[in-house]
Amino acid sequence: MMFARRCFVFSLAVAAFLSSPAAAAADDTIKVGVVVEMSGPFAPYGHQITNGMRAYMKAHGEKAGGKKIELVVKDTTGPAPDLARRVAQELVMRDHVQFLAGFGLTPNAMAVASVATEARVPMIVMNAATSAITAKSPYVVRVSFTLPQVTAPIAEWAAKNKIKKVYTLVSDYAPGLDAEATFKKVFAANGGEVVGALRVPLKNPEFAPFVQRIKDAKPEAVFIFTPAGETAVAFMKAFSERGLDKAGIKLIATGDVTDDDVIDAMGAAALGVITTHHYSAAHKSPENDAFKQAYAAVTGAGARPNFMAVGGWDGMHLIYEVANKLGGKIEGDKAVAAAKGMTIQSPRGAILIDPATRDVVQDIYVRKVQKVDGKYFNVEFDKVAKVKDPGKS
């Protein structure tokens, strides 16, 4: 009841705002409301994303479509859907942003989708990777990736490389469930078998008992998905402390687990791990070199951009292209129409916004953790070209 009433009041306010002269008044600024995790255990997500956005702006000038581009950043503090919805409403109502952007975590993106729909504001998803997010609002455009999109290639790779029995372990929330279901389906279709499946809490999981259960089951490999960062480091520690590697159990994962932001903290425990993902800092291309240079200009030398920083960079690129196409006059429906079918030369390779789904189509790389010049990297050695989100086909 309360919720329905709040939504109704919000709808009235949005209607009033949309018809107000202030909303229609021409301005010399395009405001981008950025909803991200800037504090708490997921704070690296917000920092990577906003640094990627700022790097793009620094490298390309702070104007697009003849207008100044301004970021208004709001902190969700972690997975906090109610707070994310509230700050998004403020951004739309009070700050009059023309774009919503950011979104490291799925629960926050899911919660804001209805705000984007009500306010008819394009919502550029720069990380959150549950397949269903784009279906939550016709105003969502995703430049990052989806869990089914990066999971299907590792399931195929495993089956083709003589791995037949796998135990899966995922974080117990929407992206984890997407990864678990995709792995099981694609692995079975290629002749493999999932012999056990575990789900661990999103926040602060204690991995030791889970890892011991897997060890006792003696699978040939473990497939895991946890969100990038601390959780993945904790898993890797438990995996090597419990001696699964020494027991001959291989580790395969989505690239979230060996994320560039934490891979050096994992150290030797991560060596040899095979993952599939859309971006590695070790990707060789002129666009990636330019990106890393621009990122260092914002953060100082030494900080390594990860896939979330690339999401921020590419999302900003898309916003600039849309603003240019529309001559700086941003209307939600026109902006989404302009983004559909757009191709962007990303630091990861070309990406396409599928006009039918507004989701990203891209090459997915197969990588192995190796030491390069004394540091750990995900070194790409194969790729699957132009992968669409299999969650939608």
Letters for 251-290 (x = contact with ligand DHB by CB under 6 A, - = none) are: -----x----------------------------------
Rounded least distance, CB 163 to ligand DHB, Å: 22
How many binding residues for ligand DHB (CB under 6 A)? 10
For ligand DHB, the closer CB: 52 or 332: 52
What is the distance in angstroms between the CA of the first residue and the CA of the last residue of the chain?
36
Applying CB under 6 A, the span of 98-106, 154-162, 336-344, 347-355 interacting with ligand DHB comes to 98-106
Asked whether position 148 contacts ligand DHB by CB under 6 A, the answer is: no
For ligand DHB, the closer CB: 337 or 361: 361
Per DSSP, which regions of 82-182 are E strands?
99-102, 123-125, 140-142, 165-171
Applying CB under 6 A, the span of 28-36, 61-69, 127-135, 339-347 interacting with ligand DHB comes to 127-135
Asked whether position 227 contacts ligand DHB by CB under 6 A, the answer is: yes
What is the rounded CA–CA span in Å between residue 200 and residue 179?
13
What distances in angstroms separate CA 391 from CA 6, 104, 276, one per listed residue?
32, 20, 17
| Sheet with 123-125, side-by-side order of all strands | 63-64, 67-75, 29-36, 99-102, 123-125, 140-142
Per-residue burial over 241-250, b if 16 or more Cβ lie within 10 Å, else e, is ebebeeeebb
Asked whether position 122 contacts ligand DHB by CB under 6 A, the answer is: no
What is the tally of helices (H) and strands (E) in the chain?
Answer: 13, 15
Asked whether position 129 contacts ligand DHB by CB under 6 A, the answer is: yes
Asked whether position 389 contacts ligand DHB by CB under 6 A, the answer is: no
Instruction: Give every CB contact of residue 180 below 8 A, 6+ residues apart in sequence.
Output: 168, 170, 197, 199, 225
Q: Which helix (H) or strand (E) is 283 found in, with range?
A: none
Give the distance, in angstroms, between the CA of residue 124 and the centroid of all CA atoms in the same chain: 11
Applying CB under 6 A, the span of 25-33, 124-132, 284-292, 332-340 interacting with ligand DHB comes to 124-132
For ligand DHB, the closer CB: 98 or 168: 168
Angle made by CA atoms 18, 7, 178, in degrees to the nearest 5:
105
What is the rounded CA–CA span in Å between residue 175 and residue 107?
10
Rounded least distance, CB 125 to ligand DHB, Å: 9
For ligand DHB, the closer CB: 122 or 175: 175
Rounded least distance, CB 349 to ligand DHB, Å: 18
Give the closest residue to 69 by CA, choosing from 77, 82, 80, 59. Answer: 59
Rounded least distance, CB 171 to ligand DHB, Å: 9
Asked whether position 228 contacts ligand DHB by CB under 6 A, the answer is: yes
Among 128, 181, 281, 364, binds ligand DHB (CB under 6 A): 128
Asked whether position 106 contacts ligand DHB by CB under 6 A, the answer is: yes
Letters for 156-195 (x = contact with ligand DHB by CB under 6 A, - = none) are: -------------------x--------------------
For ligand DHB, the closer CB: 129 or 309: 129
For ligand DHB, the closer CB: 105 or 211: 105
What is the rounded CA–CA span in Å between residue 72 and residue 75?
10
What is the rounded CA–CA span in Å between residue 84 and residue 72?
14
Asked whether position 328 contacts ligand DHB by CB under 6 A, the answer is: no
Give the closest residue to 308 by CA, choosing from 289, 335, 281, 345. Answer: 281
Rounded least distance, CB 42 to ligand DHB, Å: 8
Rounded least distance, CB 130 to ligand DHB, Å: 5
Asked whether position 105 contacts ligand DHB by CB under 6 A, the answer is: yes
What is the rounded CA–CA span in Å between residue 134 and residue 265?
33
What is the rounded CA–CA span in Å between residue 118 and residue 15?
9
- Residue 109 tokens read as 């993106």
Applying CB under 6 A, the span of 100-108, 240-248, 290-298, 371-379 interacting with ligand DHB comes to 100-108
Residues that bind ligand DHB (CB under 6 A): 104-106, 128-130, 175, 227-228, 256
